[in-house]
Structure 1
């Protein structure tokens, strides 16, 4: 999907999600859900034709201020606002292509986090390194081909991985929305597009969820893993970007007491 289409579908879906009543507009006699284009334009103090062209993904002159006003009208979250600016104005940062050769100190740090699970992941969700606890408690990435060691691919097309994810639907939506946010923010898109192409061909669930156009960030959160014995282990996790390695993250898992 092109970035013009991303703009179109993202704005359309967010516009449909806002109730006209929130802004005092009548809710009867409408052919479309949510706000009309002319109502967004009016509330954001831009012309109807300009907003229409923006939503269509046309090449127009766009100011940061106008996008901020539109974001407020559509009640976008900070993450959604960042995503809108990325796909309309361009990338906020340009990380270099992720190196597959990690510094020794990063590897040593991940190993030292045993007995807690930890692993290294790139912005496009390729798994680059993991410690023994992650292998034993989360997933054994060494059991799959190197090209398939990707959290998003595993989530949608690896049956063994899918079985261990408790509340798979929620976890899959969160993973795909974080991937979309990373994709919009970086200039090195080839690695992202290779993942998208594979999943678009192989997973109907991916195609359905990709069209939701949800975005989020992976900073901290919760994870529930179903063990071989059928018991559920619950974790909190933290994701930290490695300094001097833009687009490379260490994820640390801490088991919830009593899990």
Structure 2
């Protein structure tokens, strides 16, 4: 999917969420829910033709201020606004995202044992993990290297899917975080390799990929059934590795009860 198509899908979906009555518009005689293009343009103080061209992905001059006004009209969250801006303007990540992990980062991951911890790129490729992650979450070493990716794991591993409590919600959350990372990165090829592989291999991914939800994967909860059938509930935190943009350390902490 091109970024122009992503912009179109995202803006169209967000327009549909907004109640026209909140802005004083009637809801009568509407074929689809939400704001019309001309209403967004009016509220954001841009021309109707300019906003239409923006949704269509045409080549136009775009200012950050105009995009921020549109975001306000569409009631975008901070994450959604950042995603839209990244789609339109891009947001470069350092080449360090492809660099070898330092010994210090690996030592930190190992030291977090017996708590599961691993390191991954923005495109969710797994770079390193400790013994607890291998035994309690997934044995990355047993998988083909090209499948060592958190998003792929969600959609192509039937075994892992059965071990995730609330798989669909977890899969959508992982996918929305991947999408946000994709928009913020200038390393499109790293993400496209993952997307194209999943489009070819997973019907569920094909159905979910075209829903332009975005979120950050900073922290959350996950329940995983381990290889022995024990139910384990965790909170998790994602931390960006200093001096290595696009590389994150993911730490799991067991929840009591």
Which TM bucket (shorter chain)? over 0.9
Give 1:97 deviation, angstroms: 5.7
Match of 1:208, SS? Answer: helix
CA-atom RMSD, angstroms? 1.1
Whole-angstrom distance in 2 between the partners of 1:98 and 1:145: 21
Match of 2:98, SS? Answer: coil
Give 1:207 deviation, angstroms: 1.2
Whole-angstrom distance in 2 between the partners of 1:227 and 1:160: 11
- Conservation of the 8 A alpha-carbon contact between 1:97 and 1:188: no
**1:213 corresponding residue in structure 2:** 212
Whole-angstrom distance in 2 between the partners of 1:117 and 1:65: 43
Q: Deviations over 1:71-107 (max 9, x none)?
A: 010010001000100111222x322163363111111
Select between 24-33 and 145-154 the one with higher mean Cα deviation. 24-33
**2:145 corresponding residue in structure 1:** 146
Q: Deviations over 1:51-79 (max 9, x none)?
A: 00001111101111110110010010001
Q: TM-score, normalised by structure 2?
A: 0.97
- Conservation of the 8 A alpha-carbon contact between 1:120 and 1:127: yes
**1:178 corresponding residue in structure 2:** 177
**1:155 corresponding residue in structure 2:** 154
Whole-angstrom distance in 1 between the partners of 2:152 and 2:208: 13
Whole-angstrom distance in 2 between the partners of 1:99 and 1:64: 30
Q: Deviations over 1:164-222 (max 9, x none)?
A: 11100000000000000000101111110000000111111111111110001111111
Q: TM-score, normalised by structure 1?
A: 0.96
**2:11 corresponding residue in structure 1:** 11
Whole-angstrom distance in 2 between the partners of 1:35 and 1:14: 9
- Conservation of the 8 A alpha-carbon contact between 2:19 and 2:35: yes
Structure 1's consecutive aligned runs of 4 or more residues displaced over 6 angstroms after TM superposition are none
